[in-house]
Structure 1
């Protein structure tokens, strides 16, 4: 890793609160980052926990149950944790971007307007009164009404109703995620204009993710570059510019500089903001290793090992009754850093509240 990449990586670690001062609560983590990617729920809660002071899994889940953070589909048609009160305007900001894709997908799945209206009515009735209902039960409800959920239809219907602001994820029912009506679950939703939404999300992104480019911001949200620039220009006076190899990187002027420490070691979850929060990841990973983070090309990103800001391997954990088994798969021998990664694994086990029964590397 060259000196310039090291500088970007260290500052991102610091601004994302992976190193340095941690946030007080899981809610603060989500708010300052703007949103936290959560395609894999069990990975994403760790992504929040490692950025908060002494947080446990129960703390993150309590914030969900207390309706302070919400799990929904605001960006790029995928799942994120967002601050509860910001859910509606974030969904509205990107909803129009999916209209063309939705029409195409609905045609493929033979879901016409009448069928989707019936789905909306059936699910609304089932969830009314702030009643959480599990995914399998909602699928059963649709099937009983003669609406097939096979071949991805059921998952699409729930995602569509989520992206359009009707439903969001509710509390877990055992191992099953449930759904609730968004307006009932979070009654005091903020309303922002388009310009206000673009500006607020831009400021949060560059504060929590900087140094980053405008192209990074556009990719992360799923905006056109034109709209991303509108948000960026509205808050540009609150941002600091750094030129690195001729590229403009932006951060909050209110932020402080990271230390020159290059020895930080951390185990990050799959889909983490440190990796997926940017279109260009060349500052944190060698191009020859990039394919190993998503080896199956199916949209599944592996948990990553990070040392000194650089992605140096992948890892996995298996949770059993007796505890957690962890396998480290570095791209090259860890050498003196092996003990530090074992300590990082202990940090994860403390968050989960389970002992480590085996670490293999």
Structure 2
């Protein structure tokens, strides 16, 4: 740890987490937009995560679904699009240009090159053919406003073409042009995910033209995104920053310098906070708090180095083999267990912390479980990436 740096211990980091992630009782938000603004990005790979993450942070969660659908599909104040690490997130609309320039363009270049390489290896048509299909697809989407891949294929039948990916390999598979091309167009910022075909938990969705946004310079966009994230999640180590953004370490360091990030000492080594943000955070976190957060929640997945809020011995039960976190139970800034929904709608939970958490914590967790059941109602929740504890409790 750097000599003379202010030490920010785990307890202080948990206070910051409770306040800035809208989880402490006095810090909860009034709207989905406030939640997304505070967190920078909501994980959107599993559609239900977006709604569950919002509901856990609202003062009044009863209108979670209606208000989040309004923000996503009517006001378009929130946008679901590809972002860091090729992952689908929901961002505040004003951040789409920043994410596109800071992260999306580099990802998109790799995605398009990979698609063309795979098609060529399979003997599929060339880049000129793909460009024709792309232009026709975008024109059809503009005419329709929103459409599924199948609907677009009625306008542009070549989207149904198939090719064999990785022939002869253990992971060989048959891909359709529509699936791969729409993914590339998503990373390029030309299309975004629209309203699902079913309920708010459905993973079958429509595509929509991406809202227009200005083209920003990469370094400036990276600096803005990093500053927003550090304001939400600082202090964080360089390893955390590199992991969350998916950038090269040189890009992370350039952005840190550009925003004048301050160094602090952490248990893991040197960390960083936004300029002027090294002092203790107070307000909104005086009382201990409980939360039931969904699989892939942006708080649980915010940092690569997690020992300060998640004991290593709990990970085997709470993560799948690919490193995706399942539903978690929190008490005052720490993950202490997990939860699930049974077929009859009951929300069940279990504390895994070996030392226990006490009666106050158990009462608060039980209240959060009832709060969750109250607004979810009869909707069935099954995480896309299932973990050992979630499977056991749900069964």
**TM-score, normalised relative to structure 1:** 0.84
Aligned counterparts of 1:173 and 1:246: Cα–Cα separation in 2: 45
Superposed displacement of residue 228, structure 1: 1.3
Aligned counterparts of 1:43 and 1:173: Cα–Cα separation in 2: 17
Superposed displacement of residue 349, structure 1: 2.7
| 1:38 aligns to 2:44 (yes or no) | yes
Superposed displacement of residue 200, structure 1: 0.9
Aligned counterparts of 2:133 and 2:287: Cα–Cα separation in 1: 53
CA pair 139-77 structure 1, distance change in 2 beyond 3 A = farther
Superposed displacement of residue 51, structure 1: 2.7
| 1:147 aligns to 2:161 (yes or no) | yes
Superposed displacement of residue 262, structure 1: 7.6
- Indicate the residue corresponding to 2:117 in structure 1: 107
Superposed displacement of residue 100, structure 1: 4.0
What's the RMSD between the two structures over aligned residues?
3.0
* Contact 2:20/2:27, CA 8 A, preserved across alignment: no
User: Quick check: 47-56 or 279-288, which moved more?
Assistant: 47-56
- Indicate the residue corresponding to 1:349 in structure 2: 373
CA pair 282-155 structure 1, distance change in 2 beyond 3 A = farther
Superposed displacement of residue 224, structure 1: 0.8
Aligned counterparts of 2:263 and 2:270: Cα–Cα separation in 1: 7
CA pair 219-140 structure 1, distance change in 2 beyond 3 A = farther
Q: 2:205 aligns with which of 171, 177, 180?
A: 177
State the SS of the aligned residue for 1:291.
Answer: helix
User: Quick check: 139-148 or 114-123, which moved more?
Assistant: 139-148
* Contact 2:300/2:325, CA 8 A, preserved across alignment: no
Superposed displacement of residue 169, structure 1: 0.8
State the SS of the aligned residue for 1:278.
Answer: coil
- Indicate the residue corresponding to 1:16 in structure 2: 21
* Contact 1:49/1:60, CA 8 A, preserved across alignment: no
| 1:268 aligns to 2:296 (yes or no) | no
Larger Rg: 2
CA pair 44-219 structure 1, distance change in 2 beyond 3 A = same
User: Quick check: 138-147 or 210-219, which moved more?
Assistant: 138-147
- Indicate the residue corresponding to 1:196 in structure 2: 220
| 1:117 aligns to 2:131 (yes or no) | yes
Superposed displacement of residue 318, structure 1: 4.9
- Indicate the residue corresponding to 1:72 in structure 2: 81
| 1:330 aligns to 2:351 (yes or no) | yes
> 1:256-281, CA deviations, whole angstroms, 9 ceiling, x for partnerless residues?
61467583211011111212111211
| 1:247 aligns to 2:269 (yes or no) | yes
Superposed displacement of residue 108, structure 1: 3.3
Superposed displacement of residue 64, structure 1: 0.6
Superposed displacement of residue 135, structure 1: 4.1
User: Quick check: 18-27 or 329-338, which moved more?
Assistant: 329-338
User: Quick check: 271-280 or 284-293, which moved more?
Assistant: 284-293
| 1:57 aligns to 2:65 (yes or no) | yes
**TM-score, normalised relative to structure 2:** 0.77
User: Quick check: 69-78 or 88-97, which moved more?
Assistant: 88-97
CA pair 74-341 structure 1, distance change in 2 beyond 3 A = same
Q: 1:48 aligns with which of 54, 58, 64?
A: 54
State the SS of the aligned residue for 1:76.
Answer: helix
State the SS of the aligned residue for 1:275.
Answer: coil
Aligned counterparts of 2:175 and 2:357: Cα–Cα separation in 1: 42
* Contact 2:84/2:246, CA 8 A, preserved across alignment: yes
User: Quick check: 210-219 or 264-273, which moved more?
Assistant: 210-219
CA pair 118-355 structure 1, distance change in 2 beyond 3 A = closer
* Contact 1:293/1:314, CA 8 A, preserved across alignment: yes
State the SS of the aligned residue for 1:282.
Answer: coil
CA pair 151-282 structure 1, distance change in 2 beyond 3 A = farther
Superposed displacement of residue 168, structure 1: 0.2
Structure 1: runs of 5 or more not aligned: none
The total of aligned residue pairs comes to 346
CA pair 46-107 structure 1, distance change in 2 beyond 3 A = same
* Contact 2:12/2:280, CA 8 A, preserved across alignment: no
* Contact 1:119/1:157, CA 8 A, preserved across alignment: no
Superposed displacement of residue 142, structure 1: 6.0
> 1:25-62, CA deviations, whole angstroms, 9 ceiling, x for partnerless residues?
21232223222221111012221232344242211111
Superposed displacement of residue 160, structure 1: 0.9
* Contact 2:41/2:298, CA 8 A, preserved across alignment: no
User: Quick check: 77-86 or 168-177, which moved more?
Assistant: 168-177
Superposed displacement of residue 97, structure 1: 4.1
CA pair 88-4 structure 1, distance change in 2 beyond 3 A = closer
